[in-house]
Amino acid sequence: MTAPAARSARTVERAVALASIGFVGGAAACLRLDAWVSGSFVLAALTWTAAAFVIDAFCAGTPERGPALPAEGRSVTTIVCIGEEPPDVARATVALAASAGAVAVAATSFDGINDLAIAGTPVHVAPTMDRALTAAVEAVTTDAVFVVSASAFPTRALHRVAGLLENDVAWVIGRSETFTDEAFAPGEHDAHSARLRARARAGGLVCWEPDATLLRADALRTALATGVRVRGSWLRLLAARGWHGIECDVVVSRRAEPTDGPRFWPSEVMRARGVAADLAASVRQGPVRGRLLAFGGLLRHLAAYRYAAWLCVPLVIAWAETFPFRVSPFVLGAPYVALASARWAAERRATATPLHPVQDTLAAMYRAPASILSLTAALTGRIRPPRFGVVDQPLLVGAIALTCGLGVSLFDRPAEPDGNIDLTIAFALAAVAVLWMCAVHAVGPRAWTRHSYRLVVAGTARLASRTGDLCDASPAGLAVSGPFCALGVGTPVLAEVTFAATGDRVAVPATVASSRPATDTVVVGLALDATPAVRARWVEALFAATGLLDTGPRAGARRGRRRAPRVDTVRGARLARIARRGETVVVGAVSIVVVGVVALALLGYRPLVVRSASMQPALGTGDVAITDWYRARDIARDDIVTLESSGGETITHRVRAVEERDGRVLVETRGDANSTSEHWDLRADAPVARVVARVPEVGHVVAQVGRVKLLLIGVGASVALTTFYVARPRRALRPNVSVDQAA
């Protein structure tokens, strides 16, 4: 971004921040004193929403591009910290790091440690990652250390970036890019978060950047000697002793997002906990401006609790039975939505991030479970794995829990025909709908059994004296299209691969793991059966061909997923698709019905079972009458209303006459099949249930189980079907071996 564009973006950002401050102040001035409890809750939610943006607008700096890279670099050891990553991904990362220079592994446990030892890689295993990392650093003999996760690998610019570690420069922070774009987390969201942290560092915050921080080895040993656990505290300790760091706008690593839920959620939780612990430690030490920026970053990082607060707002207002402000919800809500949209757009303009609201919403939802579980790290400063396993589909569980919570809490709320209350309930419905959409989107990859990423790369492969085109490849396999009808599943072959971008040739032993007939060819998936040395050669050649080892534009790969061989036969694929679509229709239909019932309940509608024939033919015995609340003064002749007699009997009859007199409303009702009338004397503002719709013949079931029980049964059915849909063992659409190991 040019300097004039940056100044313009900052001006807009501060103008929106001032407007946000004014809006919160105006809302506070309109607070009703008789509803100060619920109003204070809403004000707290408004303040939390705007606080991080306001802090960044006035305290964050403008990142500089950094100094030019020296011609001569320094020696670097890449320490790969292995956590929840799949073995194939971890081995690929170690192989790529070894091709760039010295490498060591720090782990608490790892299934493939023996393979790494055979490859000559130093492996340091300890009960905790801190101890393993300390042991790895103590064994380092190079000038600099680069600490990365097992899903990231260094680029070829790493050694030149290390050349900036001169004089009193103890660390250099570059950029880390994601090179996969799986369904769980758009990389654009990660890039935006990293740019926000870079702006905060330019404003005085000292914090760690995951997979992008390069340190001097001697300085790192000094920091580790103090026993500090949080990595950002290493930098703050060095800064307190006179060292400093610099920013460098160079890609020093590339990172792969996990490709399936069971891998994504635990990995994301640990990553989020590390960032939360770092920001929380920054709040407690350093200059005031840096602390403010850390506090704003922490508020943004714990955004899931902000979402939860807003989801609780309708409940709080409904329980208070009155809107806590002296203005209409439209008057308060319209400026809020406008300012929230302006903050979102201004923040992304300031970080040169494209405006993609749908992707950003999905990414925020996918980050929510990790955000919730990172609170303990922020409070304790300790980065530990969760004591309980993270479910494969936390968004789906959250959507079901939220629907049940809102439905049961508001299903029997007191009758209150207040339009303001109904608007807040409508907001709750909108929130439920958004969460359900995100959850359903996340359910899409539920059947993925693929643990390794795939790269689209051009080239040829020779199998059994026949040549085909390379479709895509992974660290443990590849997919090839060609005249391979004679190759059945389980056939061992020698794959001689030539990459078009680099001309590199690699011969790897493999086994045919899947075969799918195409239009004129056959697409086969191959699982590598290579030694660690051959696998390392394969991985290095593959990534060199895609251009991922360079810091510039990628030459041979593009973001996004590409379809790979799915099943062994065309007929099997068709049946699998039909079965999956049938399950989707069933679960979707049940979910729509359950959410629809809850929507009626939340908006104040009540189902009443007709138990007599007094209203025939308009309402028959066994029909369900759907009612809504109105003021007594608003009912009119020919309305069908439900009133309760002095004896507690509920009567649903048609209004024959209405007369308002001295603040009272005199109502005459009569059943369509009756010859006598009932007379009622009501307050003008008394709530009256008016029939707005009917559902024929289903009342017999409702009468037997009751309204709340029926809701719980419906939600239970939805939960059971969804659990069956998501968690049951199934024949994978992409066979486990052919996807994990055959691209």
What pLDDT sits at residue 536?
86
SS3 225: coil
Token pair, residue 385, equals 């794995």
pLDDT in tens, 445-504: 443 445 677 888 899 999 988 999 998 898 889 999 988 888 888 899 999 999 998 999
Q: Which two tokens stand for residue 522?
A: 């056959």
Q: Which amino acid is at 394?
A: P
Per-residue pLDDT reduced to its tens digit, 664-702:
999 999 998 888 899 888 888 888 888 888 878 665 555
Range with the lowest mean pLDDT among 192-206, 514-528, 557-571?
557-571
Q: Would you put residue 211 in left (φ > 0), alpha (ψ -120 to 50) or beta? A: left
Q: Output the pLDDT for position 361.
A: 79
Looking at residue 43, what is its pLDDT? 93
- What does CATH list as the number for 602-706? 2.10.109.10
What is the pLDDT, as a whole number, of residue 3?
78
Q: Could you tell me the pTM of the whole model?
A: 0.72
DSSP character string of 376-414: HHHHH------SSPPPS-HHHHHHHHHHHHHHHHHTTPP
Answer whether 259's CB lies under 8 Å from 214's CB: no
Q: Residue 713: enclosing H or E segment and its boundaries?
A: helix 707-727
Higher pLDDT, 418 or 696: 696
Q: What is the DSSP letter of 127?
A: S
Band of pLDDT at residue 103, cut at 50, 70 and 90: very high
pLDDT computed for residue 541 by the predictor: 92
Asked if residue 653 has pLDDT above 80, the reply is yes
Q: How confident is the model at residue 572 (pLDDT cuts 50, 70, 90)?
A: very low
Q: Which of 209-218, 286-295, 709-718 has the lowest mean pLDDT?
A: 709-718
For the chain, give percent helix, strand, coil, nearest 5.
50, 20, 30
- Angle value at C-alpha 698, between 696 and 702, nearest 5 degrees: 135
Share of the chain above pLDDT 90, in %: 30
SS3 200: helix
Residue 476 CA to residue 466 CA, distance in Å, equals 22
CA angle 489, 491, 494 (to 5 degrees): 130
Using DSSP, state whether 244 is helix, strand or coil: strand
- CA angle (21, 25, 26) in 5-degree steps: 115
Average pLDDT, the chain: 78
DSSP 446-470: GG----S--EE--EEEEETTEEEEE
CB 17, CB 58: distance < 8 Å:
yes
The per-residue pLDDT for range 629-648, each reduced to its tens digit, is 788 888 899 999 988 877 77
Residue ranges of the domains in the chain? 76-260, 455-565, 602-706
For residue 152, which of 171, 183, 178 has the smallest C-alpha distance? Answer: 178
Q: What is the pLDDT of residues 45-93, one digit of tens each?
A: 999 999 999 999 999 998 887 788 888 889 999 999 988 777 888 888 8
- Please give the share of the chain, as a percent, with pLDDT higher than 70: 73
170 in Cβ contact with 108 (< 8 Å): no
Residue 118 has pLDDT above 70, yes or no: no
Statement: residue 723 has pLDDT above 90: no
pLDDT above 70 (res 9)? yes
Distance CA 297, CA 300 (A): 5
pLDDT at 447: 39
Instruction: Report domain 455-565's class.
Output: mainly beta
CATH of 76-260, one of 3.30.70.260, 3.40.50.150, 3.30.70.240, 3.90.550.10: 3.90.550.10
Please report the pLDDT score of residue 619 as a whole number: 85
